[in-house]
Structures are given as structure tokens and as C-alpha cells.
């Protein structure tokens, strides 16, 4: 019987994770297996702690252009349907000039942050709504 307490001992933001060296061996093996089958590989929500800072592992292991394997532009809802929000292909990881207006999503810039949380997405939605209403109802001069 395996002692899982020896393996799951890294606490990252309140979540118990397997030892980083074990996880990296698994991810390396999975990426290599994907490459042999001509598949892309990406990680979602996998982190390590490096010098007290939480770092995403996707940059180290991802073989696709983006996490989802396809570019996904931002959409807005008009009535019951969704439409592209702006003329954007959705390649945020390589973007340096965000047509969407969300500066944080220009992750192609040097030193840009790439580990977003749900609260960040909610904040961007609030900002987009505020910008949209200002366009419809501009401030009086």
C-alpha cells in the first residue's frame, strides 16, 4: 500500500499537490507522448513554488501556441447570441497590442503576468461593461 502523504506534501494556496519533481516527470512524459503522436500539450492550473512565488508550469511544458490549442477571441453577448467583441484572433499569449482594451491580456509583452484567477476575469468584465456604457452614454462636456 502506498503512503500518499509522502507524495502529496506541497501546499500551494491551500491545495495539496504532489511533489514537484514527481509532477514534472509526469508532465514531461505526457508531453513527449503527445509529441510522438503529433498532438499538442498544455497544462491548466498547474503551479510550483519558486523562491516563495507561485509560478505556472505551462510555459515550461506547453507545446501548443496557447493553452486551449486554438485561438479564442473575446466574445460579447448581444441578446441571446455571442459575437466577437473586437477584431482580434484571440492569441493573448502573443499579444502586445490589445485591441480588446484589456491591457492585462497583452501577455506577449516582456514580463507580463500569465496566471490569472476568476476574480481577474470578473474585474475585466466589469471594466468592459463600464467602457461600453461610456461609449453609449459619453460624459457631458
pLDDT in tens, 99-120: 888 899 898 999 898 778 889 8
28/114: higher pLDDT: 28
Domain residue spans of the chain:
4-61, 75-136
Residues 6+ apart with CB under 8 A from 85: 73, 74, 75, 76, 100, 128
Q: How many CB atoms lie within 10 A of CB 102?
A: 21
DSSP one-letter string for 79-104: TTEEEESSS----GGG-SS-TTS-GG
Task: Give phi and psi for 36, each to the nearest 5.
Answer: -65, -30
| pLDDT for residue 36 | 97
Distances (CA, A) of 130 to 62, 94, 123: 35, 26, 11
0.85 surpassed by pTM: no
Using a 10 angstrom Cβ sphere, with 0-12 exposed, 13-18 middle and 19 or more buried, the burial of residue 37 is exposed
Beta bridge partners of 18: 8
Query: Mind listing the pLDDT tens digit for each residue in 115-137?
Result: 788 898 889 888 877 876 655 45
**In the predicted model, is pLDDT for residue 93 greater than 80?**
yes
Amino acid at each position: 500500500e502506498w503512503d500518499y502523504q509522502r507524495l502529496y506534501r506541497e501546499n500551494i494556496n491551500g491545495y495539496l499537490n504532489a511533489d514537484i519533481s514527481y509532477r514534472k516527470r509526469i508532465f514531461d512524459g505526457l508531453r513527449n507522448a503527445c509529441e510522438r503522436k503529433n498532438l499538442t500539450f498544455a497544462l491548466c492550473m498547474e503551479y510550483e513554488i519558486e523562491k516563495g512565488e507561485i509560478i505556472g508550469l505551462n510555459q515550461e511544458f506547453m507545446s501548443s501556441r496557447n493553452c486551449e490549442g486554438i485561438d479564442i477571441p473575446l466574445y460579447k453577448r448581444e441578446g441571446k447570441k455571442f459575437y466577437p467583441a473586437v477584431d482580434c484572433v484571440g492569441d493573448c499569449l502573443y499579444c502586445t497590442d490589445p485591441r480588446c482594451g484589456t491591457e492585462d491580456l497583452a501577455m506577449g509583452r516582456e514580463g507580463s503576468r500569465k496566471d490569472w484567477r476568476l476574480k481577474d476575469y470578473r474585474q475585466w468584465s466589469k471594466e468592459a461593461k463600464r467602457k461600453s456604457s461610456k461609449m453609449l452614454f459619453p460624459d457631458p462636456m
